[in-house]
Every structure is written in C-alpha cells, then in structure tokens.
Chains A and B, each alone.
Chain A
C-alpha cells in the first residue's frame, strides 16, 4: 500500500477520538460522508478570519478579496476534473444539482406551454408524453426521484437499465432502451451501494447519438478516482463536496458551456440576473445563472483546500490505495462463512463501497455490534431501495473506506462481523 495512512490520519482530528466507552474509532462510512483534515478546517477558518464579505457585489476591499477567494476555489475545483471554471456551478449538494438538471426540463416544458414570450427555449429540454428518460436500477434516490417527478409532470416515460447478478448494468439492450424518444440519460458513475463502476463513456456516446442530454452522477467517483471530464463525455456531471474532505453545504455541477447556456435556471432571485424590471428579468451567463442568492463562499474555500489535499496525494495513488483495500475487504469478507457480497466480487471496474449481507442477521444488528466495537459502517438501503429490491434484500451493511483507512481497519470490521454472528448465535 503506497499511502502513508498513519501520517494522513494525523491530519484528521476527529479520527483520534474514541467512541462507545473509550473504543478506538474505525471510520468506514466515507461513502456517506468523509471526515475533514485540518487543511480544510483551517482554510475555512482563515477565510472567515481575514477575508470574509459578500461576493460579486459591493466595491470594498473585503468584497474584492472574498470574490477572489471564491473564484479561485472554483478554478481549483474545476481543474480537479479538467474543466474550465466557468463550467462549474456551485449547489448545496449533488441532490440539488440533480434537481437543477431535472427542473431545467420541467421549467422549459412549462414555459413552452405558456408561450415563452421573447425567450428562446431550447427544444432539447421540452418534454412530451412520448419522450423517455433513461436511468438504471442502481441509482441513488437523488438520481431517481427527480426523474420520476419530471415524468409525472410531463407524461414522459421512465426507463432503466437492469442489473445482472454481479451488480453490473445489462447493456445488451442499450440501443433500444436509449432510442429516438430519449431526452435524458442519467447514470451513476460508481454505485454507492454496489461499488460497480459503469462504462459511462459508452452510455454517454449512445445518448448523444440520439440527441439526448447525458448526465453522470459522480458522487462516488470524483472523490475516489481520477475523473477527467473530457473522457467521461457527459454534458452534465455532479458531485458533493462533503464526500471528498470538503465541508457540508456545497456540491458541484459541471456542465458544457453549450448546455449551461441552453438550460433555464432552477432557483431565481438575486445574483443570477442580468437586468431586472418590475415586469420581467434577464439572466446572467452561467455559472451565475444557476447561483441565486448568497452563495456558499466559505464552503467553496474549504472544498478547494480538500481538492488540494487530494491532489497532493495524487488521485492515481488514492485509487490504487482504495483498490488494494477493496481487494483486501472482498477477500476477508468472503472468507467469513455466511457473508455474501452484494455487488461485483472482484476489483475489476469496481470501487471501494462494499455492501454485504450476513445470513440470519439483519444489517441493523450487524451495524449495532460493529458500533459497539467502535467500527462505524452504514446500514440500510443506502438511498438505493430499488437496488436492494433487485437483490432481494431489505437492506445491506456497507463498508466504505477512504484515504485514512488501512487493512487493520478492515480487519477490525471483519472481527466485528464474526462477533455479531456469535452474539446472535447464527455462525454457520
């Protein structure tokens, strides 16, 4: 393992605390949210202590400095995925970014029904009942419910890629699933429950063949592997800052210039306008068009520090470290009788979110025993209820390590699973 985990751990103050009567904490829930290093905490604090003011308004020195910090953060974050700063929109989180995308379609559709006046509405965003939207059976609810709602509002049909028993997309019917009726294809890059890494390039290419807008949910890929936006080929890609060392309250939406120009805004109000009269308004160019109201400035500064932290380690090294940990996790889990992995069984095109079930034990009870030993994992349906249904389980237990975890953490989780089997008397 190439990362110096002992040194990295020292940067994360929370990881030195104990839980449940003095037990050393093993944090294996980074798929839900990551812990924060001093570098991020310090950057946010320093910004508040020295340069804080409203951005993009006011002409005083502090407002200028704050704006520079905010836009520098945008540049750093854009650079992380190989994008230009003007192609990055800040949102509250990935969920809001996905809603921003879905609302572009419903807003365009209702504006066109009203007769949009002088405004030109890009026909790609206008949905008819004969249109379709394509997702997959492994989507997080954030990339499912907004599309269900859009279908309910427009009459469009929701379609999805189904999954095979290994938890991979069945792409055999891609050309009929994504056809001339398809207006949106929105697919997760790496599943938060199965760990599967999807061939998003091929899916985006097919979306573009039929003129659909291609969206990739990068929540579990951007924090964990090198993601170069040009090679993903998506029109829109979003992720949350809090899963990659950044603060809560900031998400990022990448969009091509062409798409961002064409999309109607989601939230409207201050900061996103060009001209306002009492009757009507025009909007600023992207990204400002999508950043209504006072933005999350300190959070952007914090996230930029997180990005720099990851860049110093190197995303190739992060991915390599996680692949080694995934390999170790898969082998120690499959060595425990009664444990079944839900998702790909090898590291091939698979990330480090590792779900499993234990025969005779409910995930809540597994998680409780692990928690009692100081090991924090996620239990439940992981906001991917349809995926659980596909595998016939009500819920799973999930281990999701990050840069601050090593094999000993995984081994403590494995020991906890065996302890749970013993406690409940279900060891095979």
Chain B
C-alpha cells in the first residue's frame, strides 16, 4: 500500500487548485454536510444555467480527499443534466464500495477515477463521498431531484 495510490496527482492538484470554488448568487438548493468523525464541512449549492445545465457552487474546509473530491465533482457535473449528474454520482458511489477492485469507468467518471484508490482506505471513503452526498441533498432541496433514490451513504 503506497501513499501515491491514495493521493493521485489529480487529487493533489485539485486540492491545491480547487476548481469552481465559491457559492452561487441565487442557488435553487443548498446543503451543508459535515463528517462528524473528523469535523470536515462542506456546503454545496445548485442552480440551473442559461443553457439548462446544472450550475454547482461549493465551499468548505477539510482534508485533501474531501476538498479535492468536491472540486472534481463540481467540474464533472457542471453544465450537465440532473440525470447525468445522477449517473456520475451512482458510478462514484459504486467505485467507493468496490474495495479497490473492479475497473471504474473513465468514460463516465473522468478525473474522478483518481479516487478509486480511496476505496481501499475505509476511513477515507466518507471524505470522498461528502461532496457527492451534499450535491444530492442540494438537488433534492431545489426540487430538481425527487427524494426517491434508494442509495444511502454508507
């Protein structure tokens, strides 16, 4: 087990240079999630852009995994439909529960496949999921997503 398998270059890069950070002027929905075991916090907001795709804002403090994951998440879903965002989210959750086995779909997940190694560190899975869970809540808040998903955080 080496550190590099957890902290991929892409993750460190997003941690140091977060993309799309900041809150929205007039969000349709907003969710504040905390990781009660370590105190990491994240607010995720959603809105709809002029072209009809999702607009995502976020702000928080926490470890490299939670903050980089929020950055990658915002980049991945921004401009996409709520339906696409669900596909990304479910694929990400599946990757987190794969215990490091199986091949994550880079076509779907893009940069987010860098988090595959996190699945081998059970204590960090929650960190990686924080942004995605907050996204789902913000979407439900906004009415863009109905609360019928049977997926739950671990």
Contact = CB atoms under 8 A, between A and B. Distances in A.
A283 interface: no
A381 B6 contact: no
Contacts of B61: 394
B63 A362 contact: yes
A388 B36 CA distance: 13
Interface in B1-51: 1-3, 6-7, 12, 16, 37-41
Interface in A357-405: 362-365, 368-369, 372, 379-381, 385, 388, 394-395
Contacts of A48: none
A342 B55 CA distance: 39
A92 B12 CA distance: 43
A190 B39 CA distance: 22
B62 A362 contact: yes
B1 A368 contact: no
Given A364-B40, A364-B65, 6 more contacts: A362-B64, A363-B63, A364-B38, A364-B64, A365-B63, A385-B39
B127 interface: yes
Given A379-B38, A381-B39, A364 B7 contact: no
29 contacts: A20-B1, A362-B40, A362-B62, A362-B63, A362-B64, A363-B63, A364-B38, A364-B62, A364-B63, A364-B124, A364-B127, A365-B64, A369-B3, A372-B1, A372-B2, A380-B37, A380-B39, A381-B39, A385-B39, A388-B39, A394-B38, A394-B41, A394-B61, A394-B62, A395-B38, A395-B39, A395-B40, A424-B12, A425-B16
Contact of B39 (A20, A21, A372, A394): A394
Interface string B101-128: 0000000000000000000010010010
Interface of B: 1-3, 6-7, 12, 16, 37-41, 61-65, 121, 124, 127
B40 A394 contact: yes
Contacts of B41: 394
B6 A368 contact: yes
A363 B1 contact: no
Interface of A: 20-21, 362-365, 368-369, 372, 379-381, 385, 388, 394-395, 423-425
B127 to A, nearest CB: 7
B38 A21 contact: no
Of the candidates B64, B121, B127, the one having the most CB atoms from chain A within 10 angstroms of its own CB is B64
B60 to A, nearest CB: 10
A372 B3 contact: yes
Of the candidates B1, B7, B39, the one having the most CB atoms from chain A within 10 angstroms of its own CB is B39
B1 A423 contact: no
Contacts of A20: 1
Given A363-B38, A364-B127, A423-B7, A21 B1 contact: yes
Contacts of A369: 3
Contacts of A381: 38-39
Contacts of B64: 362, 364-365, 424
Contacts of B121: 368
The 10 closest A-B pairs by CB, nearest first: A364-B63, A362-B63, A380-B38, A394-B39, A381-B39, A395-B39, A365-B64, A372-B3, A365-B63, A395-B38
Contacts of B63: 362-365
Contacts of A368: 3, 6, 121, 124
Contacts of A372: 1-3
A365 B6 CA distance: 11
Of the candidates A364, A379, A394, A425, the one having the most CB atoms from chain B within 10 angstroms of its own CB is A364
Contacts of A388: 39
Contact of B3 (A362, A385, A423, A425): A423
A369 B61 CA distance: 19
Nearest to B40: A394
A253 to B, nearest CB: 27
B28 to A, nearest CB: 28
Contacts of A362: 40, 62-64
